[in-house]
Each structure stands twice: as structure tokens, then as C-alpha cells.
Structure 1
Amino acid sequence: MTTTAAVPATSQSRSPQQIWRRARGLLFAVLILVVAGVTLAAVRSGGQHGRLDPRSADPYGSRAVAELLKDRGVSVDTATTLDEAIGATGPDTTLLVAGPNMLTAHQQHRLHTATAGSAGRTVLIAPAGPSVTRLAPGVRQEAHGPLTTRPPRCELPAARAAGATDMGGVHYATDAPGATACYPDNGLAPLLVLPGQETGDTVLLGSPDILYNDRLDQQGNASLGLQLLGSRPHLVWYLPSLDDPSAAGGSSGGNDNTDGGSGGESGFIGLIPSGWLWGTLQLALAAVLAAIWRGRRFGPLVTERLPVAIRASETTEGRARLYRRADARDRAAASLRSATRSRISPLLGVSPRDTDSPAVLLPAVAARLSNPSHAPGALLFGPAPADDAALVLLTDQLDALEREVRTS
């Protein structure tokens, strides 16, 4: 028995022109993404660095306030490691910590120890969670409010001179003596000044917005920012970084586990810049849209003609070799028995759906054969052969049974 199929007159392989027409849209999209990425990288490399960076001229940078401080005679230095920040502290220095929540517990304890005895000013930008208790003992984070224009309503000279400013973000409360709470909302303050040793103090600013380039010229933001950061002749702008070697220095420190012992409390996702998160989301959306775009081209399944004629005996021999190589006598025997049952069922008047039912097929076989040479139950539904010789014997016996059914 052979299966016949007409040989197609044309090749099934796609020509280069067909491949180009199918791929040019995707290649064009990839080219646009590459050009856009290179252009964006080139634009951002021109002096723009990041959020709250004194070197950044983008809307969320802080270059404007840094330049104004320099015009007032205040030196502005940028630190990216904890050792640089601690080494620059002193009575004539203001230390601004741009991202205190990025610091590990060990780094926060080191920073607090160094600044507590420096007699300088420490400005903490939006500390939250355990960072508050580590960097400003006695202060509690109570709420988080929207950014609005508020009057100072406090006795702090810098706040009274600045007047109404844009305040919000983290709100604090404290029972520490001598603390000054400004711009309060329901008794909670987004600006808190804690007195320290001698003339030093610590400033907690619940939101960095007054230091951004795009908000510096609004309300009294510039005045308040310049007074908070320009009270000393030197300003150290500390930008914590994830590759700071000091982050791994206190994994076994004795005092680093007082608040749970794990480093940054904002978690891994909180340490990832928001631009990376948005970029990942956009790439995922692009992948879904590309899948939909390609998927809608898939139509229903189409039966294709075989390119060559294949002999049925070759298919049988090939499957037999596979069974033999896998030592799958059970599957071979099951296939032989199933084929025999399918061929004799029409001869016995058995419905195709009852072909695999011993209760229906075996009585029909017994009624057809007055003196069967072999037990039909063992042949058609018996166990798998133990070896190859038993498999060959089963084949011969099934052929003999089928012949008896056909001739009886």
C-alpha cells in the first residue's frame, strides 16, 4: 500500500524578496528604536544627570539652586559615596542627603553618628519608614500628603522670610524639645528642624519639590531652598548610589539589626529608578502589540500535499525500528492488537466504538469461530510480550486469528 501525492511544481522555500517583504517592517521598527535610543542618550549626556542632581538641568534636576548658591559664595561639592559625605562634614558645612531611603541600615547608622557630633547642618530629603528613626531619633513619620502651597506658621526665620511655599510629601511629628515644625497640616509638619549639638541641627524636608529646577521660581521656594542650604559656606550634596562599597560593610554589624536587620527598607523595586520601570513596561506593551500584530496573520490550518510519494511499508518499517530502538514491545504489541481488532470488527458486525471492549468483541469472535486455534482473549487483550521472540509469535498468532475470522 502506498500513499500518493502530487509533487508541487514550485519550491516551498521563500525567495529573498519574500523574506525581505515579511521582515522589513520589523527591521524598520528596530531601526527606529535604535536611533531613538542613541539620540536620547546623546541628548541626556549633555550635562543632565538625574533627579535632584545639582549638575542636572532637566526639570527635576537641581542645577538652578546649586548655581544660585555658588553666586552667593557657597561652595557646592557632589559626593556619591558615604565615605566622601562623612569626610566632608564639619561645623561650616551643610550636608544634603538626596536619597536617605536608599541607604542600608549600616550606612544610616554611620551617617547619623558622623553628623550628630559635627555641629553642622544635615538636610534629609523625604526620609520615610525606618530611615526616620535611624537618622533622626525621636521623630515619627505620621502621614503622606499632597503638594500644596502653604504658609509657614512657625517661628523659623528662613520659613518666615520665604513665606508660602510648595510643601507636601512625608509629614512628621516629634516630642523632641526645641524642635520647630513648619508648614503644618492637621498638626503634622512636612518641614521639621531638630536642634543638635552646639550650633548644629537636622532638617527633615518631606518633599524635594522646592529644589527642582521647574519649581524654584514659584512661590517662596527659591528663598526657602537657598536659606536651608546656604546657612554654611560649604554645601556637600550627597547622592547615594547602589554601587557604594560601604553598603556591604555592615551585614554583620551589631547595631545594624536594631530595626529588622535588612538593608534598604524600600525594597529592591523601590531602588530601581522610575525610568527603568517605565521602560520595562513600555517594552512589555510593545511585545504584546507585536504578538497581536503577528498573530492575526495566522489563518486556519491548511492541508498541504506531500512533496514526495511515501510507501506505506517504509512508514511501517520506520516505526518498527523506532519501537525496537526504544525497546517498546508493549507499544508495538498494543498497536498490532488495535489494528487487528479494527480489521475484524466489521467482519463480526461489531460497532467501531465497541472495538476496544472485550465484553462485546470477544463473544462475537467466539461465536464466529467454532474451533479457534488460539484463545482470542489472550491474543487481542493480553499482556505485553516479555521479549522479541514473544512479540514475533504474537504477530503470527494475530495473523492466524484474522485469517480464521475471514474464512469462517
Structure 2
Amino acid sequence: MTATLPTTSDARTPQQIWLRVRGVLLAVLVLVVAGVAFAAVHSGGQHGRLDPRSADPYGSRAVAELLKERGVSVDVVTTLDEAEGAIGPDTTLLVAGPNVLTAHQQRRLHTAAATAGRTVLIAPGGSSVTRLAPGVRQASHGPVTARPPRCELPAARTAGASHMGGIHYATDEPGATSCYQENGFAPAPLLVLPGRGAGDTVLLGSPDVLHNDRLDQQGNASLGLQLLGPHPHLLWYLPSLDDPSAAEGGTGTDNGSGGDEAGESGFIDLIPSGWLWGTLQLALAAVLAAVWRGRRLGPLVTERLPVAVRASESTEGRARLYRKAAARDRAASALRAATRTRISPLLGVAPRDADSPAVLLPAVASRLSTPGDDISTLLFGPTPADDAALVLLTDQLDALEREVRTS
């Protein structure tokens, strides 16, 4: 009969691994499903910021529905070709993301908008302002707060205080109207330029007055309806990153110095808010799971070695390492310390004083029949100069210990 030898392997079996990780995998699965569901609820069926079809807090479905109730048709376009084909004198053109457009698209849009009844630009910034509204410049940036109109624009005076802020614009164009300035001085977050063709141009420094979650606050609804509803047709242009016209005349947004660069809106601004929250929750859950499953430091546990190692083998192995490294200083220190530790109880010296020359040396001298002056050098001396001196030191320490034991 063949005896079964016990195994000493530390490797876990597949069943042990599964039992250990199944809780973590289940928790991760639940968190992933919850994150996807949360993102789907908050972004599914919605179309992002300033979209008249979106019921998201940052969408604009509420103002679009109010305009429809007042007889204004609202059409959404996502390409420049569609926008150019639908612009007319009885049309209000709203550009929801002018900074996403390339320099070539912005110049085309500026030319086409000359025939619109009104053009509303939402928060154009940087060099986009100079291309879409020549003569206007971005002057500063301020917080969005409820402000009084402080101007003679009928729409603003009727609406009263509204949530305005963001980008502030300044211009030297004659006939321009600035509203909702901070402290009553230009630049302003709402700027109306007189018509250069069929209608005027409105620059809004912030889209907040058109968001669903703020439309019922202050005079936001009144201001939004008056700015977007002077004509029977509202063309709501949502620039798209996959618009074929973006490949014409370069693929970037001109930075105003002749070169092309990426659009001025950050990539994060283009991601629906629900997905951002879902990703943040998943990252937090991963960190918590890592902390939960992290190794906890507990008390030391004594384990039996799989094999027995003789003390002489350990001593010889350490000696070979010392010799290979030429570490005579460490070898001599270890030999002297071991000798002092063994003879101190024989001399009545406390273990804590074994390394004190002032205590140990007098005790050693009192036990020797012929005490010499080299005891201090022997027990606390310098490093041996070579291997022969190290061997001699070993013999002398052995002789000293024998004499102490026999005295």
C-alpha cells in the first residue's frame, strides 16, 4: 500500500479562491449595475445641456414648450448645413455651443446669420467672439447671480432681475445695449448688437436663464421668452462634433493667432452629467472595496518551519556571508557582544550593563588571576585588520570565557 504524503504547498485551490473573492465580485457587480442604472435614469431619453428636448435640470425643454404655447415653432438642427438652409428673416437663430465650432464653421455661421431675424449666441468665449460678433471682445468673467437689468432694453426691463453672469462682453459698436452689469458698469453679461442685416445679435454670457431648473426663478422665464420669441420660427442649433463641415478648412478652432487648436469647451462639458456621477460613484466604490479587502495587520503568529535548520548551519551560512562581504567589523562586533552576554551573568553583571565598559571591565578583572591591560581591547576594541586577526580575536575571546567560567 502506498502512503499519501502530506502536502506543504501554500497555493489555494480554485474553490478557496472562489469562496474568498465571490463577495467582492458580487459587490462590484451590484455597484456597476447601480451606476449604469443611475446614469441611464439621469441621462437616458435626454439630450444634454441646452437641448430643447431635454428634461434634465440643465436642459431647455421648459422654455421650448412655453414658446410653442405662444405659437413659436422650435426646430433643432445639429449640422451647419441644416442651420444655413433653415435661416430666414422670420427666424431666430440660437447657437447653443458656439465654442465647439471650428474657426471655418464660425466664419460660415457668421455669414449665414446675416439673414436671420435675430441671432442669439450662448456664452461664446475667447476668439469665438471676434469671429461670430466682430467688434465685441470678452472682457471678464463673473458669478451667476440675480441682478437687476440696469439698461433700457425692453425685454430686460420687463423681466426685471434675472440670473445673469458668466462671460462679460464689451464693445465700442454704436447702438449696442449692455444689460445686467455688475455695479452698473460695462462690461455686461447680456449684450445686444444692432442688426447688420435682417436682425440683431444677442450675446448671453451664461445659459442659466434657459435651464429647466432656473426658468421659474426671478425673471428668467420672461427674459428667455422675449429673447427667443420675437419671430414665429426658432432655429435651435446644437453643434455636433461629427458634423461633416468640421473637416472643412481645418479641424480645430482658430486661436486668433492663425493656428488651429481644440475647441474651447472642455471634454468634460460634453459628457452628460448622469454619466459623470455614475463614474464618480464607481470610483468611490472601488476605493472602499480596496480598503475593505486590504490586508489587516494583526499580532504575529508563530508557525512551524517545514524543515529544521541546525544552528551550526545558520552560523556557518552567516559567517560565509560576512566573509564574502569582508565584513570583519560586523563579525567582530557579533563575537564580542556574544562573549559579553555569556560572561555577564557569571560575573554578577546585569544584562543591561553587559555593553558598559565601566561596569563589565572591573568585574572581569576581579575574576582573573593575572589580569592584563588588554581586556578592554579584547572586549571593546577596534575592528581586526585582517582575517588572521579576526581568528586570533576569536581564540582570545574563547580563552577569556573559559577562564571566567573556571575561576
Same fold (TM over 0.5): yes
Cα-to-partner distance string for 1:6-44 (whole Å, 9 max, x where unaligned): x75676454566434422321222222232144335534
Name the CA shift for 1:44/1:168 in 2 (closer, same or farther; >3 Å): same
Partner residue of 2:216? 217
1:134 Cα deviation (Å)?
1.8
Deviations 1:72-118 (A, max 9, x none): 11111111222222222121111111111222222222211221x21
Q: What letter corresponds to residue 136 of structure 1 in structure 2? A: A
**1:213 to partner: Cα distance:** 1.3
SS for the counterpart of 1:192 is strand
Q: 1:184, CA displacement in angstroms?
A: 1.8
Provide structure 2 residue ranges, at least 5 long, that are not aligned to the other structure.
Answer: 309-319, 335-382, 392-407
**Kept in 2: contact 1:123–1:204 (CA 8 A):** yes
Q: Find the partner of 1:185 among 166, 182, 187.
A: 182
Amino acid at match of 1:94: T
Question: Using the alignment, how far apart are the partners of 1:104 and 1:160 within structure 2?
Answer: 35
Q: Aligned partners of 2:197 and 2:177: how far apart in 1?
A: 16
**In 2, are the aligned partners of 1:129 and 1:265 still within 8 Å (CA)?**
no
Matches within 5 A, 1:221-240: 221-240=220-239
Answer yes or no: is the 8 Å Cα contact 1:144–1:170 preserved in 2. Answer: yes
Once the two structures are superposed, the pairs formed by residues 142-221 of structure 1 within 5 Å of their partners are: 142-186=139-183, 187=185, 188-221=187-220
Q: Offset at 1:268?
A: 5.0
| Structure 2 CA distance for aligned equivalents of residues 220 and 340 of structure 1 | 86
- Residue 386 of structure 1: aligned partner: none
Distance 1:208 1:13 in 2: 61
Cα deviation, 1:32-57, whole Å, max 9, x if unaligned, reads 22321443355346632222110011
Alignment counterpart, residue 24 of structure 1, candidates 19, 22, 30 = 22
Name whichever of 25-34 and 86-95 sits farther off. Answer: 25-34
User: Where does residue 317 of structure 1 map in the other structure?
Assistant: none
Report 1:308-327 matches (<5 A): none
The match for 1:243 is 242
Report the Cα distance in structure 2 between the residues aligned to 1:48 and 1:267, rounded to whole angstroms: 20
Q: Is the Cα–Cα contact under 8 Å of residues 124 and 205 in structure 2 kept in the other structure? A: yes
Tell me by how many angstroms 1:259 deviates: 3.4
Is 1:138 matched up with 2:164? Answer: no
Residue 299 (structure 1) shift: 6.0
Question: Could you say which residue in structure 1 is the equivalent of 2:348?
Answer: none
Calculate the TM-score normalised by the size of structure 2: 0.68
Q: Is the 8 A contact 1:119 1:197 kept in 2?
A: no
Q: Which moved more, 1:240-249 or 1:119-128?
A: 240-249
**How many angstroms does 1:218 deviate by?**
1.8
Q: 1:83 to 1:230 in 2, by over 3 A?
A: same
Q: Distance in 2 between matches of 1:341 and 1:177?
A: 94
What is the aligned counterpart of 2:121 among 116, 120, 124? 124
TM (normalized to structure 1)?
0.68
Name which of 259, 262, 278 aligns with 2:260. Answer: 262
> 1:134 & 1:229 partners in 2: Cα distance?
22
Partner of residue 314, structure 1: none
Aligned equivalent of 1:50: 48
Partner of 1:64: 62
C-alpha change, 1:259 and 1:303, in structure 2 (3 Å) is farther
- In 1, distance between residues paired with 2:279 and 2:12? 35
Aligned length: 331
1:27-106 to structure 2, matched below 5 A, reads 27-44=25-42, 47-106=45-104
Distance change (3 Å), C-alpha of 1:340 and 1:46: closer
Distance 1:154 1:250 in 2: 40
Identify the residue that residue 3 of structure 1 maps to in structure 2.
none
Structure 1 gap segments, 5+ residues each: 1-6, 310-337, 366-408
| DSSP-derived class of the 2:62 partner | helix
Is 1:106–1:263's contact at 8 Å kept on the other side of the alignment?
A: no
Percent identity between the aligned chains? 73
8 Å CA contact 2:46–2:55 kept in 1: the answer is: yes
CA contact (8 A) 1:94 1:232 kept: yes
